[in-house]
A and B are shown apart, each in its own frame.
Chain A
């Protein structure tokens, strides 16, 4: 899941990039409002982690701009000023959540997952679809009750497809989600991940729509358990 972090302290920004990466996120980090606007215009993010005191203004300004424009992006505020009135001002400006510094990285990751599933209209932390169980918190997966071993990228592709089942994701959408700016993307990387997933889940679990992209097989045509056992 690709998120944007706006934080001007270089040590903390680096910690967020690496730490959120370890938690299964792809985090792009910018240090000012100007760069944040450019990043938001250039890529699709599942969530925004926003510091309030930035060198070229307040994070609240960016938040209001976002809410005035496209409303959807979940925003979590990070700030050292965690007086009640600061929290209220942040939430009323359109923030979805709030963490005071210093915070725990695991908690930040959990809150980001919660924001993301809420924006997908889900309440349960686990994603289940056609016999597939994904737990983004622990990054564990099971298929038809059996534990499923997935690499970080494979898990991310499967999560992206399962979050809103039935929705078609283009190859470029998946690349955007999997790779941050600082990563070289192999041209066939997504195809490779899909190939590995089909080997683990059955050939038709992920459908290819030629020239459009990929989606998960709809629930009602899910196979019986014996079918998967035979594959």
Chain B
């Protein structure tokens, strides 16, 4: 309020001061062009042509240094308002009225032209301006505020509903939001993006649930085997039966252990954020073969590595890559006849790398090879007590690495081929 009055007053003062200057110059130029006849008998009558409401508020004196008052407008005081040598603005009081005057020296005339108006008028003007602005503002602003509030809340209502819907959702509800197509245009992209996110989350949750069900199911058969064999060992009528059961328990524990490891690997492959680093393939394979040496010895299988000559590297996630290779080679070991050799060779073709695993097992039936990506597809055969998990791990890991996996039965045996794209 105070600020409004001050700034209004300053503005009014500036404008009216400018008009005083203008009026003074005008009068002075009229005098010099002799358009105001300054008679020697008394002050000339000067009309200041301004807008009416303001006109009679302005007055003017023409004061000659030699003859005194030589011209005045209506309403101008007869007394001298300013000292003879004064120029510019002044606030003076005459006849109990506060006046603001502007004086210029007119050399042609040999005197002063003083133009002024009343401060009371100025104050009224300020008040009028303030009232003319403020009262409407006081009425209009709340109305405006109400209108704006109403418009914004109406505009944001869909968002509020949206937020309420989301708040009310149970965490397991991952269905798409209802009526995305009916949402206002502004929030449709948001709703669409949320729907996409929900769909991705639902798919991930579904995969997780499927995996847990699968893992639980896969674990139950070996447990049933263990429980049955333990029962036999406890109630065996003779030593041979008991020994046989204990050996079966031992085998089953090893096998179950491998399965648990593979299930954990698979969960890791499916959920891991791949981090590519430079991997030296020969070294990685040496490590994998080292890990499998014990198993190979037990199965009477020899492992041979044919490294590429110039230590090729790939930009890949080392964990995913070693899991893929380990499971493929482990499968080859499991499938190999006693005394056979498995040859793992690395070759380069341009910048791409190729790992070939050559074994003498029966190979994969074509329908299995095609379904390699599906979990728990089992190879057939007495020794195929793997759950098909190894193949799933290799497939999933290589998919994450943009590598490819293929199987081929040739005259010299079975070949598993892993192609790794150029870094």
Whether B380 lies near A15 (C-beta < 8 A) is: no
Does chain B have a CB within 8 A of A11?
yes
Q: Which residues of B contact A100 (CB under 8 A)?
A: 220
- Complex CA gap A78/B384 in Å reads 21
Q: Which residues of B contact A16 (CB under 8 A)?
A: 228
- Complex CA gap A82/B235 in Å reads 28
Most chain A CB atoms below 10 A, which of B223, B224, B235, B384:
B224
Q: Which residues of B contact A81 (CB under 8 A)?
A: 217
Q: Write out, one digit per residue, whether chain A residues 17-52 have a CB within 8 A of any chain B CB (1) or not (0).
A: 011001000000001100000000000000000000
Q: A80-B220, A80-B221 are in contact. Are A19 and B232 (CB under 8 A)?
A: yes
Whether A101 lies near B220 (C-beta < 8 A) is: yes
Whether A10 lies near B382 (C-beta < 8 A) is: yes
| Closest residue on chain A to residue B216 by CB atoms | A80
Report, as a range, how many residues of chain B touch the other chain.
20 to 34
Whether A11 lies near B241 (C-beta < 8 A) is: no
9 A-B residue pairs with CB within 8 Å: A9-B385, A11-B225, A11-B226, A11-B252, A12-B225, A101-B224, A104-B231, A105-B232, A106-B231
Whether B385 lies near A102 (C-beta < 8 A) is: no
- Distance in angstroms from B60 CB to nearest chain A CB is 107
Whether B380 lies near A102 (C-beta < 8 A) is: no
Whether B237 lies near A12 (C-beta < 8 A) is: no
- Which residues from 324 to 381 on chain B have a C-beta closer than 8 Å to any C-beta of chain A? 378-380
Whether B217 lies near A105 (C-beta < 8 A) is: no
Does chain A have a CB within 8 A of B229?
yes
- Complex CA gap A104/B232 in Å reads 11
| Closest residue on chain B to residue A13 by CB atoms | B225
- Which 8 pairs of residues, A with B, have the shortest CB-CB distance? A15-B228, A80-B220, A12-B225, A11-B225, A101-B224, A102-B224, A101-B220, A102-B223
Whether A12 lies near B224 (C-beta < 8 A) is: yes
Name A9's contact: one of B221, B236, B237 (CB within 8 Å): B221
User: How many of A's residues come within 8 Å of B, CB to CB?
Assistant: 26
Whether A55 lies near B227 (C-beta < 8 A) is: no
Q: A14-B248, A32-B380, A102-B223 are in contact. Are A19 and B217 (CB under 8 A)?
A: no
Does chain A have a CB within 8 A of B222?
yes
Q: Which residues of A contact B227 (CB under 8 A)?
A: 102-105
**Chain A contact residues, CB within 8 Å of chain B:** 8-12, 14-16, 18-19, 22, 31-32, 53, 55-56, 78, 80-81, 100-106
**Chain B contact residues, CB within 8 Å of chain A:** 216-229, 231-232, 235-237, 241, 244-245, 248, 251-252, 255, 378-380, 382, 384-385
- Complex CA gap A20/B305 in Å reads 47
- Complex CA gap A67/B382 in Å reads 29
- Complex CA gap A8/B227 in Å reads 16
Q: A32-B380, A105-B228 are in contact. Are A15 and B245 (CB under 8 A)?
A: yes
- Complex CA gap A70/B385 in Å reads 33
- Complex CA gap A80/B213 in Å reads 10
| Closest residue on chain B to residue A152 by CB atoms | B237
- Complex CA gap A105/B248 in Å reads 16
- Distance in angstroms from A29 CB to nearest chain B CB is 12
- Complex CA gap A55/B382 in Å reads 11
Q: Which residues of A contact B220 (CB under 8 A)?
A: 80, 100-102
Q: Which residues of A contact B385 (CB under 8 A)?
A: 9-10
Q: A9-B221, A9-B225 are in contact. Are A19 and B251 (CB under 8 A)?
A: no
Whether B380 lies near A11 (C-beta < 8 A) is: no
Q: Which residues of B contact A11 (CB under 8 A)?
A: 222, 225-226, 229, 248, 251-252, 255
| Closest residue on chain B to residue A82 by CB atoms | B220
